[in-house]
Amino acid sequence: MTKKIPTYGSIGVKFSGHSEKYLVSSSRPKATTTYIVDVVKEMLMPRINIVRSGGKYTGGMHSQDNLWYNALPLFNKRGVEYDNDSRAGFKTCIRNLCKEYNVGREQIGLYASPWGAMYFRGQWHDISFDTIKELAEKGTDIIFIEKRDVVQSLGKYASKWGIALVNTHGHLSKYTEDLAELAKITGANIALLTDYDIPGILIASKLPENVPRLGIDESTLDYFKINDKEDTTMVIPYIPKVSRIDAKVFFNMVQKDKRFRDKVDTDFLHKRKIEIDAVIAKVGEKKFWKYLQKLLGEKFPNRNYLRVIEPRPDLSKHYPLIIKQAQLFVESHSKNITEDESKKIEKQLKQVKGFIEVKKKEKEILDDRLGKILDEDETLSDLAESVEAIDKEYGFGIADIEIPEEEEDDDDDEEEEEEEAGGSEK
Amino acid sequence: MSESKQARHQGVSNNNKDIFSFKASNMQFFRADGMKEATGYGEPKDWYFVAIKELLDNNIDWLRDNYRGSEHARVDGSFTISKDYSQLTCRLRNSNPENKPVKAFTLLPNILNYNMTFGSKQNEYRATRGQLGDGLKRLIGLPFILQNLGDDQSAFFKKQWDTPMYFRANGIERQVTVKVNLGASQAFNQIVESSQRLNHTDTEVEISFPIIEEVRSYVSALAIERHVRLNTIATTDISFNIKVIDEYAQAQGYKGLAVIDQEAKHPIPKNLHNSTSILIYHPVEFVNRIESVFDRENTSVYEVIRKFEEGAQMPKSEFDKLLKVGDTNKLSIAEFMKRPDYQDKMLELYNLLLNTSNRNPDKISLPFPLKDRHKHLAERIYAMYPPKYLEQNPDNIYYTIQYGTTTQIPIFNFAFEMLAIPLNIDSIREDPSNKQSEFHGLVNSSHAALGTRFDGRYFWTKKNGYAHQEEDIVGCLSQFGFVFSAYYRNSKMKIPCVFLGNLISQRVDYTEKSKAKMDASPFLPTILKAVRKLAS
C-alpha cells in the first residue's frame, strides 16, 4: 500500500474552528485522484516492464534527485500536491516500486548513491550494484563497521593482514547486505563492529547469528579494563528522538541471541552509550586493532588467502636484463620516430570546430598515422628480423606464440548498433 | 522408507480420527446467569447473535476440516422471523457431496451431555472459529432460557420449548428436544432418529428460538443480515447463500427478504490448520490435552501425540523408546495414566516434543491467498452499505497485512489484516459534518455478537517524542487521524472510512467461553503496526 488515505483538507473541505462550520472548495481537488506514487509509476513502469520481460533498459541513467526534477512538470500536469519535503517520499516510492517488482534501481537506469564503502589495501571502493561482485572477492575477512573514521583509522592495520573494512554508514543498506551475503558465499569471514548502543545492537541483529559481533560490548570493556560506566570521557547519554524498540522486546532479543547474551547490559543501553571512537581514544588504534584481530582469529581459525595473494604474479621484474632493455628500446625508439606526427595531432585536437567521433578518431591516429610510421620504420624492421633469425637458429618458438586479439568495447558497439538502427544524427 | 516417513504413514487413519475430550460441567446451559457467564453478554438481545455465529462457525470449521482443496464448498440457509414476530428459525446447511461421516451428530448423546464438555476441538489450538460441544448445548438451552427469562430463580418446573432442534447429516434426520427440571438439576434429551432417509447428504442444523418482547426492536432482519454478512465477509473459500426472511414485514406488504449471496473466490487451502505445535501449549495444557481424552481405553498415547506437528514428524520408535514399550500406538491413555512413572514420562514427552520443535516457525498459513484479497473483502463490504456510500474505485481501497509471533511459550504465529474504504468523497463534500468511521473486528474471520475492538494497552511514542497510550484499536485509529466522533474534526484529519480488522491466529485466549471477548495482549504491537501502516 503506497497511497495515503485522503484528509478533509486534500478533498477540499476546510473546517473553521467548529466542525459544524465548514467550507467546501468549488471543485474537487485533483490531488485526490493522482498521487506522487502514480507519477513514479508512470515514469518507471515502462522501464520495469522491459527488465521484467527479460530485456535490458538502455535509456539514460539518472540519479533519484534528477528523476525528481523530471517529475515536477508531471506533478503540475496531473495536479499532484507536493513540496520539497515530498522528495523523501518520492524516493521511498521508487524503492518500494523496485522492491515490489524485484528489480534493482540500476537495472532501470537509476543511480543510487553508494551507501557504503570498502577500504582495502589503501584504497576506498564505493559499494554499489555494479561493484558488489568484485568487492565480495576482496579480503580474507571483511569487517563491517558503522563509522567511516573508524574504518579510516583501522584500515592500515587491517590491510597489512589482507583484511577489508566496510563502512556501513549506520544500518546496513541493501547493497551492503548483499555484499556481506555474497562475500560469505565466496569464502570470506564476515564480522561486525558497532557502537555499544541500542542502534548498534539492532544493526547486528539484522545479520544472521553466525556473523560475529566483535564489539563494542561488556567483553570489550572488560578486556581493556575500562569498564567504568561513570567515566564521562567515554560514556555518553543516549537520548533517541524516537524510541527504537520496546524495552521488553529489546531485552528478549538480547537474551535470545548468543552474540549479545551476557555481553550486553540492556539497562545501561536504555540511557547511555559508548561509541567505538571513544574506546579507540582510550586504548589507541594499534591496541584496539590487535584486540579485533585476536577475536577474528578465535571466531575464524582459518582463512582463504587466495582472496588476497595472487599465486601466479607478474614475473616481468625478473626477466633477463637485455630482454627488459629491448622492450624499453622499442618503446623509446617508437616515441622518438612518432614525436613530430604526435605534435601535429596534438595541435589539431586542441582546436576542433564542431565535434569529432572519438572512437573513429582514435583508431585513425593509432593505425593510420602513428602506427603507419612504426610499420615503415627500418630500425624496428631490422630488429624484428634479427630476433626472428635468432629464434629460428635456436628454435625458441617465439614466432609460434599467438598474439591474443584485443577485446572490443561492448558498450561502444551497442551504441554503434543503436545508431545504425535508429539512424544517424549527423 | 525412512522411519519418519514410516511414522507418517503408520496410523494415517488414526490421525484423521477425531479424539473427543471432556470436562465436568452443570446445568448452567439452562439458566440466564449461565448464559451471561458463558457469553460475556448480559443482555438477551445479544444471545441470538451468539447463536447465529455459533451455527455459522460450526459449518465453516467442518467444511475446512473435511473439504480441504475443494472449490465447491458451500453453506446455504435461512433465518426466518415468523409472521407474528414470535419466533426465529435458523436453518443452516453445508455441502457434503462425498457423504463424509459427521461424527458429532452420531455422538449427540455425548455432545449434549450437560454434565461435561465433550468435543473434538477441546484443548486443541488451531486457527478455527468455533468449539463444537458446549456451543451446541448453549444453542439447545437458549430457547428454554429465553422462554423463562426473569423466572428462573424460583419454580422447579418451567415452560418447556417443544420445537425440536434438527440435525440432518449423511441422509439421516435426528430430532432433539430437551426437558429441563432446574430444581432437580436434570435435563433429559429426547433424541429421535427419523426412519425416513433424506434425499441429500448435506449437513443441516435447524433450530428455533422464541423472540421475546424485550428484544423485538433489536433482533430484526436488518441486524441479522448485518451479523451474517460480517460473519462471512472474510471467509472467501466457501460460497454462501443465506436468506434472511422477515415474514412479519412481508405480512405488512414489504419485501422482507435479504439474500446474502457470496461466491467462493478460491478453494479451501490444502494446508489449513493440519496440526498444532507443542510450542503453543503450556505444560499444563499439554497434560490436559492427554488426560481429557474421553475414550481413554481406546485411544492410544501415540494417537494424541501425532496430533502435534512435532509428534507427526518424529519416528514412532522415539516414543516407543521413551515410554519403554514395543508400540506406543498400542499403549492406551488409560494404561499409561496408571503407570507409576506416568508423571515423569509426561514431562519427558513434553520436553522431547519441545526439543524437536522449530522455535522460529514460518509465518502463519493463511486461509486465503493475498492476491486480490482487498478486492474480495471490499466487494463484500460494499454489499453491506447503500450504493455509493463508499468510494467504489479499487484504487481507493487500502489494505495491509502484518505478521507476528510470540517470543515465549506459548509460541505461535498470527497475522492481522486490515482494510479501509473511505466513504464516498462527493458525499463527504456535500455534508462533512456528521459522517464518521466505523470499525468491524473479526477473529479468525468470525464476528462476535458485538464485534471486537481488540482491547488492550496500546503504547507508542509519537514523532515529537511523547509517549501515547490507547485502550483499543478505535482509540489508536483516532489518534492516527481518523474520525470516529460526530463532534470533533479538522481539515488535517483523514476522511471517514469503514475499517475491517481480522486477526488470524493459531491461538486466541478468550476471557469467556463463547469466544466473544479475547485477551488481545500478544497481538497489540502487530495490530498497532497495521494501524500505522494504514495511517501513514
Q: Which of B468, B371, B472, B484 has the alpha carbon at shortest distance from B423?
A: B484
Say if A200 falls within a structural domain: yes
Asked if residue A4 belongs to a domain, the reply is no
**Quick check: is B23 in a domain?**
no
Q: B466 touching A, CB under 8 A?
A: no
**B455 and B328, same structural domain?**
no
pLDDT band at A419 (very low <50, low <70, confident <90, very high): very low
A374 and A342, same domain (yes or no)? yes
Say if CB A82 and CB A75 are below 8 A apart: yes
**Using the beta-carbon criterion (under 8 Å), do A5 and B492 form an inter-chain contact?**
no
**B35–A contact, CB cutoff 8 A:** no
Residue-wise pLDDT tens digits, B359-395:
666 678 888 998 889 999 999 999 999 988 999 888 7
CB half-sphere exposure, A22, CA atoms < 13 A: 24
| A242 part of contact set with chain B, CB < 8 Å | yes
Determine the longest span between alpha carbons in chain B, in angstroms.
78
What ranges in B213-323 are assigned the alpha helix state H? 221-232, 247-251, 283-291, 301-305, 309-313, 316-323
Q: Is residue A14 less than 8 Å (CB to CB) from chain B?
A: yes
In a shared domain, residues A125 and A174: yes
Shared domain check, A387 and A293? no
Contact (Cβ atoms closer than 8 angstroms) between residue B496 and residue B437: yes
**B178 within some domain:** yes
* Sequence-distant (≥ 6) Cβ neighbours of residue A284 within 8 angstroms: none
Residue A331, in any domain of the structure: yes
Q: Does B496 touch chain A (CB under 8 A)?
A: no
My answer on whether B75 and B222 are in the same domain is yes
Q: Are residues A297 and A358 in the same domain?
A: no
Q: Which of B439, B387, B388 is nearest to B418 (CA)?
A: B439
Which residue, B453, B509, B443, is CA-closest to B53? Answer: B443
- Per-residue pLDDT for B206 more than 90? yes
The answer to whether residue B255 is domain-embedded is: yes
Cα B202 to chain centroid, rounded:
21
B488, B495, B533 member nearest A11 (Cβ): B495
Answer for the pair B323, B331: CB distance below 8 angstroms, yes or no: yes
pLDDT at A230 over 70: yes
Closest CA to A254 of B413, B407, B415, B115: B407
pLDDT digits (tens, 9 = 90+) for B153-172: 555 556 889 999 999 999 99
Are both B250 and B380 inside the same structural domain? no
Q: Are B422 and A246 within 8 A, CB to CB?
A: no
User: Which chain A residues are Cβ-neighbours of B482 within 8 angstroms?
Assistant: 5
Q: What residue numbers bound the domain in which A79 lies?
A: 9-111
> Do residues A43 and A168 both lie within one domain?
no
Does the pTM surpass 0.95? The reply is no
Interchain proximity B487–A8, CB inside 8 Å: no
pLDDT tens across B62-74, in order?
998 899 999 999 9
Q: Which of A5, A13, A241 sits opposite B465 (nearest CB)?
A: A241
Q: Is the minimum CB–CB distance between A406 and chain B shorter than 8 Å?
A: no
CB A172 within 8 A of CB A207: yes
pLDDT value of position A290:
95
Domain boundary among A252, A276, A307: A307
Chain B residues in contact with A9 by the CB 8 A cut-off are 491-492
Task: Say if A144 falls within a structural domain.
Answer: yes
pLDDT of B3:
42
Q: Is the ipTM of this complex over 0.95?
A: no
User: Does residue B283 share a domain with residue B403?
Assistant: no
Confidence check: pLDDT of B7 > 60: no
- Position B19 in a domain: no
Q: Which residues of chain B make contact with A12, given a CB cutoff of 8 A?
A: 429
Question: Are B246 and B86 in contact, with CB atoms under 8 Å apart?
Answer: no
Confidence of residue A338 (pLDDT cuts 50, 70, 90): very high
The cell numbers describing B401, all together, are 497485512
A144 — pLDDT class (breaks 50, 70, 90)? very high
Q: Are residues B393 and B437 in the same domain?
A: yes
Contact A5 B495 (CB under 8 A): yes
Residues 372-411 of chain B whose Cβ lies under 8 A from any Cβ of chain A? 395, 398-400, 407-408
Single residue among A268, A283, A307 that ends a domain in this structure: A307
Quote the minimal CA–CA distance from B455 to chain A in Å.
Answer: 19
Question: Which letter does DSSP use for residue A422 in this model?
Answer: H
- How does pLDDT run across B303-328, given as a tens digit for each residue? 888 888 788 888 888 888 888 888 88
Report the residue from A7, A12, A19 with minimal CB separation from B433.
A19
The reply to whether A161 and A285 lie within a common domain is yes
pLDDT in tens, B98-144: 999 998 888 888 888 887 666 555 555 555 555 545 788 889 999 99
CATH of the domain at A128: 3.40.1360.10
Residue B362 in domain: no
Query: What is the separation, in whole angstroms, between the first and last Cα of chain B?
Result: 54
Nearest to B42 by CA among B51, B50, B32: B32
Q: In this predicted structure, what is the pLDDT of residue B415?
A: 93
Judged by DSSP in three states, B423 sits in strand
pLDDT attached to residue B133: 53
Q: What is the pLDDT of residue B463?
A: 67
Q: Which of B356, B381, B415 is the last residue of a domain?
A: B356
Of A52, A47, A59, A63, the residue nearest A114 (C-alpha): A63
**Which grid cell sits at A397?**
618458438
Pair (B68, B136) in one structural domain: yes
Q: Name the residue type at position B212.
A: I
Domain shared by A383 and A349, yes or no:
yes
Say if A234 falls within a structural domain: yes
Q: Do B199 and B341 lie in a common domain? A: no
Same domain, B336 and B309: yes
Q: Let me know if residue B500 belongs to a domain.
A: yes
- Measure the CA–CA gap between A338 and A377, rounded to whole angstroms: 10
Regarding whether A418 and A290 lie in a shared domain, the answer is no
Q: Which residue from A6, A19, A242 is facing B495, i.e. has the nearest CB?
A: A6
Considering the domain boundaries, does residue B270 fall inside one?
A: no
Asked if A4 is an interface residue toward chain B (Cβ–Cβ < 8 A), one would say yes
CB atoms within 10 A of CB B196: 8
Contact assignment for B490 to A24 by CB distance below 8 Å = no
Q: How far apart are the first and last CA of chain A?
A: 48
Q: Is B249 found in the same domain as B150?
A: yes
Rounded to whole angstroms, how far apart are CA atoms A86 and B491? 19
Work out how many domains chain A is built from and give that number: 3
Same domain flag for A159 and A248: yes
Q: What is the pLDDT of residue B120?
A: 56
Q: Which domain holds residue B309?
A: 3-10+278-356
Chain A residues 92-131 with CB within 8 Å of chain B:
none
Helix (H) or strand (E) holding A214, with range, is strand A213-215
Identify the domain boundary among B203, B235, B262: B262
The answer on A203 and A100 residing in a single domain is: no
User: How far apart are alpha carbons A415 and B110 in whole angstroms?
Assistant: 82
The SS3 of residue B204 is strand
Find the mean pLDDT for residues A101-128: 79
Find the residue in B nearest to A248 (Cα).
B407
- Looking at beta carbons, which residues of chain A come within 8 Å of B433? 19-20, 22
From the list B429, B481, B487, the residue facing A28 with the nearest CB is B429
Q: What is the DSSP code string of A161-173?
A: TTEEEEE--SSPP
Query: Is A173 in the same domain as A273?
Result: yes
Residue A66: half-sphere exposure toward Cβ, Cα within 13 Å: 9
CA B295, distance to chain mean position in Å, is 25
Residue A286 one-letter amino acid: K
Residue B232 lies in a domain: yes
Judgement on whether residues B390 and B332 belong to the same structural domain of the protein: no
What's B397's domain CATH number? 3.30.230
Quick check: B465 and A242 CB within 8 A?
yes
The pLDDT assigned to B11 comes to: 38
All cell numbers assigned to A194:
558497532
Contact B74, B240 (CB under 8 A): yes
Q: Which of A1, A24, A249 is closest, CB to CB, to B400?
A: A1
- B490/A11 touch (CB, cutoff 8 Å), yes or no: no
CB contacts, 8 Å: A8 with chain B: 428, 432, 489-495
Q: What is the CATH number of the domain that holds B227?
A: 3.30.565.10
Which residue, A111, A133, A158, sits at the end of a domain? A111
Quick one: A134 and A151 in the same domain?
A: yes
Contacts of A171 (CB under 8 A, 6+ apart): A199, A202, A203, A206
Q: Please indicate, yes or no, whether residues B312 and B442 belong to a single structural domain of this protein.
A: no
Number of domains comprising chain B: 3
Contacts of A42 in chain B (CB under 8 A): none
- Inter-chain touch A7–B422, beta carbons under 8 Å: no
Distance CA B368, CA B65 (A): 15
Identify residue A268 by its one-letter amino acid code.
F
Q: What cell was used for A76?
A: 503540475
Provide the mean pLDDT of chain B: 84
B370 touches chain A (CB under 8 A): no
**CA contacts within 13 A on the Cβ side of A266:** 17
Amino acid identity of B507? R
A160 touches chain B (CB under 8 A): no
Is B461–A243 a contact, with Cβ atoms under 8 angstroms apart? Answer: yes
Contacts with B432 from chain A: Cβ below 8 Å: 8, 13, 15, 22, 24
CB A114 within 8 Å of CB A130: no
pLDDT at residue B193 tops 60: yes
Nearest chain B residue to A34, by CA: B395
Query: Hey, are the CB atoms on A1 and B534 less than 8 Å from each other?
Result: yes
Q: What is the CA radius of gyration of chain A?
A: 31
